[in-house]
Amino acid sequence: MKSLIERIAAYTALIFLGVMGIAPFLYMFLLSTKRRIDIVVQVPPQLTFNWETFLRNYDEVLFRLGMASFIFNSAVVVGAATLIALILGVPAAYGFSRLRFRGNSGLANWILSLRFMPPIAVAVPLFLMMREIGLQNTYMGLILPYVSFSLPLVIWILIGFFDEIPRELDDAAMIDGCSRYSVIRHIMLPMVRPGLVTAALFSAIFIWNEFLVALYVIDAHSRQTISLGAATLVSAQRPIDWNIAAGVGVVTVVPILIFSMFIQRYIVRGLTAGAIK
Amino acid sequence: MPQTTQTTKAAGLSLRARSPLEILASNAMLFLPSILCLVAFAIYPLFYSARLSLTRLESAAGTPVWVGFQNYRDLMSDPQFWNAAMNSLLFVSATVSLQVLIGVGLALFFNLNLRFSWLVRSILILPMLITPLVVGVMWRALLNPEWGLINWLIEGVGLTAPNWLGSVRMGIVTLIMVEVWQWTPFVFVVVFARLQALPTDFYEAAEIDGASRYKIFRYLTLPLLMPAIAFAAVFRAVDSFRSFDLVYGLTYGGPARATTTLSFFAFQHGFQFQNYGYAAATSYVMLLILVVGTTLMFRYVNLRPEHLR
C-alpha cells in the first residue's frame, strides 16, 4: 500500500463491494415505495419519496395481504422452537464437550450429520405425521420439526463454546458436591452466554427463513408463517405487482436485518463455528 | 447448621456420594432429550420416507400402494430426472468453485485492513442472513428485461443485456450468479477469520528470508488457509445441493426446466404434482449422493473439535 494509485484502486474496490452488497436491498426498498405504474415508467426509479404511496403499499402488504399476522405467527414459532432447541441442546453440547465415553464421537457425528439432511427428504413424512396426530395447521406442528432441524446446529455451535471453558472449573464444583445439572445451571450457563446468543440467533434465522415444511403442514391462511406467506405471495410462477412484491420482500427481511445489526460479532462466530479449530 | 444446609440446597449442592449407576443415568439424561427429539422428528421421518419411496401415493388422503423399486426404476429412465441431476451438478460445482475463488480473494483484500473495511464487511454479511426466496425476488426485479436496474446500466454503456431469466442458456448462469452473490460472503467470512488468526511470526521469518509476496502466499498463507477453505467449500457444496428456495424465488425451475435442480425436482413432485412416492425416491437418491459425497469430503476436512474425532 505504498503508492497513491494503489490506495485509490483499493478504496474504489472497497466502495464497489459495499455497493454490490447493499444496492439490491436499497433497490427493493425503493421499488416498494413506488406506484405500480412508476416502476415501469421511471427507469431507473427516481429517488423521490411519497409518504402517501409508501403508506398505501405497506398497508396493503401488512394488513390486506396479512403479512402482519404472518409476522406474529413466525414470532411465536421462532421463539418457542428456539427456546426448546436451546433447552435440549445445552445439556447435550455440554456432555459432548466434557464426558469421555465409548461412542461419544459416533453419537456426535450422528447428530451433526443431520445438519446436512435435505429438508425435502423429510417434509412429506412430517406432513403425513402431523396430519395423523392432528397437528396440521397448528403452531406445534411447526415447532416440533423446527426444534429437530435446529438442534444439530445449536449443539454444534455450543460444543465450541463449552470447549473454551476450562474443565478444572467443573471438577472443582463437582468435588464440592455439585451435580452435573447444577454445574450447568449455576456455573456454565452464565459463562457460555455468548454461545447461547449465537446458537439462538442462528436457530432463529434458520426458522424464520424456512418455508418448505410450513408449505406442507400449514394450509390455513391464518396460520401461515412469514416465509411461507412471502413464498405464496411472490412465487415466480405467476405475475405480480412489483411494488407489492418488493414490499413483501422488505417486510420479510427487515426484522432480520435490524436484529443482525446488534449482534455482528456473534454472527461471525456462529458462521465459523468449527472452522477455526 | 440448618442455615448451612439450606444454602447448600439452594446452590444445588448435595454432600451425599453418588453411585456409578446414578452418575451413568444422570450423564445419559444429558443426551436423551435431544436424541428423542431427533429420532421422532428427523430419523423416523427419514425411515418413513424410505418406505414411501417404495410405494405409490398420489394424494395425502390415499393409501400407499406397494410398488417395490418401481419409483427408482422410473427415475433412472426419466429424462427429466437426469436433466435435474445435470443441473445440480453444474450448479453445485460452478457456485462452489466461484465462491471459493472470489471468497479467498476478498479475504486477502480485507486483510489489508483499509479504513472503513469493517463497514463493508458488515454489509457483505447481510445477503446470507436473508431467505433465498427474497433474494430470488430481489434479483428478478434487478434483472427485469423491461425496467430492471441492471439492464439499464448495461444498456447505458452501450452494450446489449443478455436475456437473464428468459433464455434456456442464460437461466442457469443467472441462477449461479445470484447464488454466488448471496453465499460468497460465507467463504469470505470463514477464510478471513482464519487469516486474521494466523501467527505473525511465520511472516516475519519469511520476510527476513527474503521470500517474495507470491511465494509467501503460495507456500505459507495458502496451506495455512486450506482447512478453512475446505470447511467452507464442503458447507457450500452441501447447502447448495440440498436447498431449493432460490430456485423457487428466482426461476421456479424454468425456462423449460433449465434451472430445475434435483431438490427442486423433488419439491415439484412432492408438492405440486402430489407424487409423494416419486418425490421420496428422488430425495433418497439425493441422500445417497450426500452420504457418499460428505463421507469422501470428510476424509480431507475435519469439522469437529479434536476430542470428538
Predicted confidence (pLDDT) at residue A239 exceeds the cutoff of 80:
no
Is A275 part of the contact surface with chain B (CB cutoff 8 Å)? yes
Contacts of residue B67, defined as CB under 8 A and 6 or more positions apart, other chains included, come to B54, B55, B56, B277
Query: Which pLDDT score is estimated for B302?
Result: 62
Average pLDDT, integer, range A136-152 = 93
Give A17's contacts in chain B (Cβ within 8 Å).
106, 120, 123-124
Which residue bears the cell 427474497?
B134
Give B139's contacts in chain A (Cβ within 8 Å).
24
User: Chain B 77-96, CB below 8 Å of chain A: which residues?
Assistant: none
pLDDT per position as a tens digit, B74-86? 889 999 999 999 9
Is B186 part of the contact surface with chain A (CB cutoff 8 Å)? yes
Give A178's contacts in chain B (Cβ within 8 Å).
11-13
Q: How much of chain A is helix, strand and coil, in % rounded to 5?
A: 80, 0, 20
C-alpha cell at A118: 435435505
Number of structural domains, chain A?
1
Q: What is the pTM of this model?
A: 0.89
What confidence category does residue B173 fall into, taking pLDDT thresholds of 50, 70 and 90?
Answer: very high
- Work out the burial of residue A94: count CB atoms within 10 Å of its CB; fewer than 13 is exposed, 13-18 middle, 19 or more buried: buried
Which of A83, A120, A130, A179 to substitute to test the interface with B, most B CBs within 10 Å? A120
What confidence category does residue A81 fall into, taking pLDDT thresholds of 50, 70 and 90?
Answer: very high
For residue A133, tell me if it sits in a domain. Answer: yes
For residue A35, tell me if it sits in a domain. Answer: no
Give B254's contacts in chain A (Cβ within 8 Å).
236
B219 to chain A, minimum CA–CA distance in Å?
20
Average pLDDT, integer, range A80-85 = 96
A52 to chain B, minimum CA–CA distance in Å?
23
Question: Which of A17, A125, A176 lies at the smallest CB-CB distance from B45?
Answer: A125
* Cα distances (Å, whole numbers) of residue B45 to A85, A123, A209, B48, B156: 19, 8, 21, 5, 53
Percent of chain B with pLDDT over 90: 45
- What's the first-to-final CA gap in chain A, in angstroms? 31
Higher pLDDT, A187 or B18: A187
CA distance B269 to A169: 54
CA-nearest residue to B32 within chain A is: A92
For residue A212, tell me if it sits in a domain. Answer: yes
Give B25's contacts in chain A (Cβ within 8 Å).
none
Q: Does the beta-carbon distance from B252 to A235 stay under 8 Å?
A: yes
Query: Which pLDDT score is estimated for A260?
Result: 80
Give A214's contacts in chain B (Cβ within 8 Å).
none
C-alpha cell at A8: 485509490
Predicted confidence (pLDDT) at residue B115 exceeds the cutoff of 50:
yes
**Domain at B76-260: CATH code:** 1.10.3720.10
What confidence category does residue A30 fall into, taking pLDDT thresholds of 50, 70 and 90?
Answer: very high
pLDDT per position as a tens digit, B28-75? 888 999 999 999 999 999 999 999 999 888 877 778 888 888 889 988
Q: Does the beta-carbon distance from B37 to A88 stay under 8 Å?
A: yes
Query: Which pLDDT score is estimated for A175?
Result: 81
> For B116, left (φ over 0), alpha (ψ -120 to 50), or beta?
left
Is B213 part of the contact surface with chain A (CB cutoff 8 Å)? no
Q: Please state, rounded to an integer, the average pLDDT across all residues of chain B.
A: 86
pLDDT per position as a tens digit, A248-267? 999 999 998 887 877 777 87
Average pLDDT, integer, range A147-160 = 91
Average pLDDT, integer, range B286-306 = 77
For residue A209, tell me if it sits in a domain. Answer: yes
Most confident stretch, A52-56, B217-221, B281-285: B281-285
The strand pairing partners of A154, in sequence order, are: none
Map out the domains of chain B as residue ranges. Answer: 76-260
Higher pLDDT, A50 or B183: B183
Query: Which pLDDT score is estimated for B17?
Result: 62
HSE (CB half, 13 Å, CA atoms) of A166? 4
Range of the domain at A131: 72-271
User: Chain A 94-113, CB below 8 Å of chain B: which residues?
Assistant: 94-97, 99-101, 104-105, 107-109, 111-113
Average pLDDT, integer, range A17-31 = 94
Q: Please state, rounded to an integer, the average pLDDT across all residues of chain A.
A: 87
Q: What's the CATH number where A159 sits?
A: 1.10.3720.10
B155 to chain A, minimum CA–CA distance in Å?
12
For residue A128, tell me if it sits in a domain. Answer: yes
B4 to chain A, minimum CA–CA distance in Å?
14
Percent of chain B with pLDDT over 70: 91
What confidence category does residue A171 fall into, taking pLDDT thresholds of 50, 70 and 90?
Answer: confident
Give B105's contacts in chain A (Cβ within 8 Å).
none
